[in-house]
Amino acid sequence: MLADPKRQGETMNAHRSETDRMIAGVCGGLADNLGWSSFRMRLVWVFATVFTAFAGVIVYLALWFLMPKASPAFEPAPLQPWRH
């Protein structure tokens, strides 16, 4: 099972995670999109990197630059108390 069945009709918007990150948030963002745990995604990524002669490192770097950051969960209120 690749994706969460509750998210069947949703489109996949790949993004880098801002909260679940070790280096750049690529694995955390992919795990979020697939409905996996981030530990599982990182484990798959490490095995894929080792068994493909470290091609996963190049793919990770490419995704780091190509995937946008996730939008923040909330927008902080502007610090302008004179405007109500």
Residue by residue, pLDDT tens for the chain (84 residues) are: 455 555 565 666 788 888 888 999 999 999 988 899 999 999 999 999 999 999 999 999 999 999 888 776 666 666 766 655
- Residue 4 has a pLDDT of 55
Report how far apart, in Å, the C-alpha atoms of 20 and of each of 8, 32, 48 are: 23, 9, 20
